[in-house]
Structure 1
Amino acid sequence: MKVGQSTEIFGSLQKKVFWGKPIKRCQPYSFHNRLRLQKRGSSSHPNNNGEIVTSKGETIALNKESTTRVTSQFKTVSSLFVELIKTNTPSFDFSLSSLAKRLPFQNAQTNIPIDSVANKQLEQKDVETKTGIPLYFDILGRKKEEKKEVAIPQWKIKRKAVSQESIDARTKHVVSAVAKAVSQSSLLVRLEDFCHHLFQYPAAKSVASREGAISILLRLKHSIPRDELIHRQIREGLALLGYADPLPAKGIRILSIDGGGTRGLLALRILRHLEKIGGRPIYESFDYICGVSTGAVLALLIGAAKKNIKDVETMYREISTEVFKQDRSTGLGGLLWSHAYYDTNKWEKILRDKIGETVMIRTAREHNCLKVSAISSIVSQEMLRPFVFRNYTLPFRVQSLYSGTFRHKMWEAVRASSAAPGYFGEFKLEENIHQDGGLFVNNPCAVAIHEAKCIWPNAKLLSVVSIGTGRCQPLNMAAGVNAIDPTNTSLKQKLSKVIDSATDTERVHTILHDLLPPKVYYRFNPYLSEIHSLDETNPARWESMLEDVDMYIRKNHRNMSQAASTLQTPRSSFQSAKDWVIEKRFLLQNKATF
């Protein structure tokens, strides 16, 4: 061994053993810091309790475990080095890896804090040594692209946590401010503040209800002159509190519209006939309208926007023609690239223009606004489940079985509900990914009944009208069966049967028909002479569909007349008196008693 080689080996061995664990990363009260304090010649000294007293009078407790571990490691390194000096054979391997393998405390070094940066640098050096290729080149000699770290927005890092106590205090304050408003201008500002607070914190409606917010708003509704701006805010505030006006008819009137693409024209033709028989617009004949996919489009246009059937049909034809206009090559490319045959961005632009940017709950500002909902399917969670977009909220002690929201815009609700796989891309809202509601409930009638009973828990069902978008019974029952082996089916046939089973609308109809009382439930789903696709835009085939539905209407005219007559049943005198008593009870109490 040459002169000076022992010093080099010992120093290198120390670096190998304590690589990435510099003294500054050890505990501040460890053995190293004690040595450092003594070497500085400072006035620090140990006391009787085994602690170090610094010149400033601070005490540092010693960690016996770290002291014992580091001391034993130094002793082991020293003894190993002496053994190597005594051996001094030419064949001895003085490489650092060989020396490190002989250390008996290899497993013990995991207790020492790990310096990830130093370890990463060491790994990079090892790779460069073995391959001879710098890490900024790949195995083919091409320069690697540096991965740029995505900057996290500050609003995600620095979120202000609001305690529940502060939310409750703020809720009580805004309720009190509305009650103490003197002028109409100040009342309008405070009502806007109240609605904004409940919109931001929906759970605060429980505290607001206990503070008598419903009675305050009802008194303002009856006492304030016909100031439309104030009344619009009052109606929104009552909707945010989960309050529902008394029903205008004898019971709850529900309209449910299935999904089905352009076959929604069939539903519009049936609704036009019901409107003609009843003599009233559809939005005046129902209390609750629910739709899925294309039914969601019709539900929001008729129920929330209050458009007449003729205008909706004209708009529906224009939308269908514009959206489903796609050449085959572009469609196939989009299907492979984004799993969407049609232009999703174009569809969203049309929805913004036709459906509107109004937030769902803001539609409750209108006088005699219907309760409207659109249903989508959440596919980003462990299990597929429905999601309800509402223009209302439920009373604070009432919980729906279906999750949902009232805070999104109308076009977003339709976009989520109509995101049919293969036709349009999936739609991401907040943390959820939405697809067509027909994946879970293509017939939303059962969901509509559940939601309506949550809004009016003590009311009975007067009429439930469910409208389908056509069904086709093939004349050739053997169509699609393998002629060579009838017991064998192709993969396409199996997948088709699975889809048909998942989107079956008649199963829900059969259950409701057996459970609901007679002359309450009506289902109108016309038979079609041939199968029509969801994206059918051929005018000739549209006319063929409408001929089929006209024939169906003629055959079912009696049932449709009975349904229209039931929808017009007025509220009885006893029910009106009961509604008056309940409203007076709200008006007379300062704070609600629960």
Structure 2
Amino acid sequence: MNCFFNGTPIDASPFNRVENICDSLLSSLIVDNAVSAKQKYFTNGDVMEIDKTDDRNIRLLCLDGGGIRGLILIQMLSVLEEVVRLKVGDCFDWIAGTSTGGILALYIALGNSASECRKLYFRLKDKVFVGSRPYDSEPLEKFLREALGEETKMSDIQKPKVMVTATVADQFPADMHTFRNYTFPEDIVDESKGKFNKRIFHKPCDQLVWMAARSSGAAPTYFRPCGSFLDGGLISNNPTLDALTEIIKYNASLDAIGKSNEKYTLRAVVSLGTGSIPVTQVPIIDIFRPDSLFGVAKMAFMASSLGQLLIDQMDK
């Protein structure tokens, strides 16, 4: 229904039109609310001054994974900096990132501008993505140590709060791990009760920034795992929901220890992706029990195709 015989949707479908109308109305509403909320921050002509009268009102920036397509993130951040005439890190109180977005989140949190991020990625392309994949992990690690600091710890980043996702891959089921430069929400409650929360991973004061970036960007078939970690995009390629959940947990922890007056109020969320890749037709993946040598070969090919599909889906 509402498609051609081969399943290709008809652009003129009434369902597509309704979806486009809803998207347009929602986008207009969001923009109108954002503009009305920001009008009072425009002074001295077209210069925007970021309101810092209440540190408990926060703005959240979320950066998706996507490999070298992180340049798309950088371009959007560059436009944002042109509008507000401030560095990205000065516009947000909390930054979340995954994979390439995680590297950017950490680089921004260290005080770098979008222009400096662009230079970083061109160097990354020239020094790390050399030859065909899988790429050698050693140049990547050397590059991250030079860019983020060999001895810089997560706790050295005072502002903004930053969280970077990775996948714990040495267990089943795999789980998401978040590298932070602040106290884990559950640890807030445990510390107030004099408990020791035995965690298998480093606390912010012990976690190296470049290692967090390396762990978040350990994409299968591109680079080797970083210890027990694989690319965060396997579980959370868009970290927005995880970041929102993190803030809710953080506030709940403050409630639990009687510090409700220190809770955060989320004022704005900016979630940036790495673009949409063209849709291409691929063979149907059909994995079955083989009954011949040809079937064995076909199943092996299909299993490989399934793995590639999952990896490519992560990059989207």
Q: TM-score range with shorter-chain normalisation?
A: 0.5 to 0.7
Gaps of 5+ in 1: 1-245, 332-340, 483-487, 506-594
Is the radius of gyration larger for structure 1 or structure 2? 1
Q: Cα–Cα, structure 1 residues 323 and 281, in superposed 2: closer, same or farther, change >3 Å?
A: same
CA distance in 2 between partners of 1:373 and 1:504 (Å):
19
Deviation sequence 1:165-198 (CA, Å, 0-9, x none) = xxxxxxxxxxxxxxxxxxxxxxxxxxxxxxxxxx
State the Cα distance separating 1:281 from its structure 2 match.
1.7
Aligned partners of 1:375 and 1:417 also within 8 Å: yes
> Between Structure 1 and Structure 2, how many residues are aligned?
229
Amino acid at match of 1:321: D
Task: Tell me what 1:418 maps to.
Answer: 217
Pairing 1:236-251 to 2, within 5 Å after superposition: 248=54, 251=57
Q: Secondary structure at the match of 2:167?
A: strand
Name the amino acid aligned to 2:237: N
Alignment counterpart, residue 377 of structure 1, candidates 147, 159, 167: 167
1:396 equivalenced with 2:203 (yes/no)? no
1:452 aligns with 2:254: no
Equivalent AA in structure 1 for residue 145 of structure 2: R
Match of 2:282 in 1: 480
Contact preservation (8 Å) 1:256, 1:465: yes
Conserved 8 A contact 2:67-2:315: no
> For 1:471, which of 253, 271, 276 is the aligned residue?
276
Which position in structure 1 is the counterpart of 2:136?
343
Q: State the match for 2:28 in structure 1.
A: none
1:349 offset after TM fit, Å?
1.1
Residues 220, 311 of structure 2: 8 Å contact kept: no
Residue in 1 aligned with 2:118?
313
Equivalent residue, structure 2, for 1:289: 95
The within-5 A match list for 1:391-540 is 391-393=181-183, 394=185, 396-397=188-189, 405-406=203-204, 407-428=206-227, 433-457=228-252, 458-474=263-279, 479-481=281-283, 491=302, 493-499=305-311, 503=314
Which range moves more in the overlay, 443-452 or 409-418? 443-452
- Shift of residue 494, structure 1, vs aligned partner: 4.0
Which runs of structure 1 show a deviation greater than 6 angstroms over 4 or more consecutive aligned residues? none
- TM-score normalised over the length of structure 1: 0.36
Q: How far has the Cα of 1:278 moved from its partner? A: 2.2
Alpha-carbon distance in 2 for matches of 1:379, 1:275: 37
User: Cα 1:465–1:493, aligned 2, differ >3 Å: closer, same or farther?
Assistant: same
2:153 pairs with 336, 350, 359, which one? 359
Mapped to 1, the partners of 2:167 and 2:229 lie a distance apart of 6
Q: Which amino acid aligns with 2:282?
A: G
Aligned equivalents of 1:451 and 1:258: distance in 2? Answer: 16
The answer as to whether partners of 2:65 and 2:315 remain within 8 angstroms in 1 is no
Q: Residue 251 of structure 1: CA displacement?
A: 2.8
Q: TM-score, normalised by structure 2?
A: 0.65
- Structure 1 residues 498 and 423: CA distance shift in structure 2, 3 A: closer
**Distance of aligned partners of 1:421 and 1:496 in 2 relative to their CA distance in 1, 3 Å threshold:** closer
Q: How does 1:4-23 map to 2 (within 5 A)?
A: none
| TM-fit CA distance, 1:289 | 0.3
* Aligned mates of 1:371, 1:290 — CA distance in 2: 9
Cα distance in 2, alignment partners of residues 292 and 255 from structure 1: 12
Indicate the residue corresponding to 1:17 in structure 2. Answer: none
CA deviations over 1:450-471 (Å, ceiling 9, x no partner):
2223344533321111111111
Question: Which of 127, 150, 155 is residue 322 of structure 1 equivalent to?
Answer: 127
Deviation readout 1:87-114 (Å, 9 max, x if unpaired) = xxxxxxxxxxxxxxxxxxxxxxxxxxxx
Q: Aligned letter for 1:270?
A: M
Contact 1:293 1:438 (C-alpha < 8 Å) held by counterparts? yes
Provide the aligned C-alpha RMSD in A.
2.9
After superposition, the C-alpha distances for 1:470-524 in whole angstroms (9 at most, x for unaligned) are 11243x6xx2247xxxxx99725544444455x386xxxxxxxxxxxxxxxxxxx
**Do the aligned partners of 1:387 and 1:403 also contact (CA within 8 Å) in 2?**
no
Structure 2 CA distance for aligned equivalents of residues 391 and 291 of structure 1? 13
Q: Give the Å deviation of 1:275.
A: 1.6
When residues 343 and 370 of structure 1 are mapped into structure 2, their CA distance, relative to the original with a 3 A threshold, is: same
For 1:500 and 1:311, locate their aligned partners in 2 and report how far apart those are by CA, in whole Å. 28
Which is helix-richer, 1 or 2?
1
Residues 373 and 382 of structure 1: CA distance in aligned 2, closer, same or farther (over 3 Å): same
Give distance in 2, aligned partners of 1:312 and 1:398: 38
Residues 288, 452 of structure 1: 8 Å contact kept: no
Partner of 2:72: 266
Alignment gaps of 5+ in structure 2: 1-51, 192-196, 253-262, 285-297
Q: Which structure's relative contact order is higher, taking Cα pairs within 8 Å and 6+ residues apart?
A: 2
Residues 60-209 of structure 1: pairs in structure 2 closer than 5 A:
none
Could you tell me whether the CA contact under 8 Å between 2:154 and 2:209 is conserved in 1?
Answer: yes
Kindly state the Cα deviation for residue 268 of structure 1 after the two structures are TM-superposed.
0.4
1:217-236 to 2 correspondences below 5 Å: none
Q: Percent identity?
A: 32
8 Å CA contact retained: 1:386, 1:403: no
**Do the aligned residues in 1 keep the contact of 2:128 with 2:140 (CA within 8 Å)?**
yes
Q: Match of 1:256?
A: 62
Give 1:389 shift.
0.8
The CA deviation at 1:321 is: 1.5
Query: Could you report, residue by residue, the CA deviation over 1:192-251 in whole angstroms, capped at 9, with x for unpaired residues?
Result: xxxxxxxxxxxxxxxxxxxxxxxxxxxxxxxxxxxxxxxxxxxxxxxxxxxxxx984673
Deviations 1:518-552 (A, max 9, x none): xxxxxxxxxxxxxxxxxxxxxxxxxxxxxxxxxxx
CA contact (8 A) 1:252 1:452 kept: no
SS of aligned partner of 1:387: strand
Contact 1:247 1:287 in 2 (8 A): no
- Distance in structure 2 (CA, Å) of the matches to 1:421 and 1:439: 9
Letter of the 1:362 partner, please give it: D
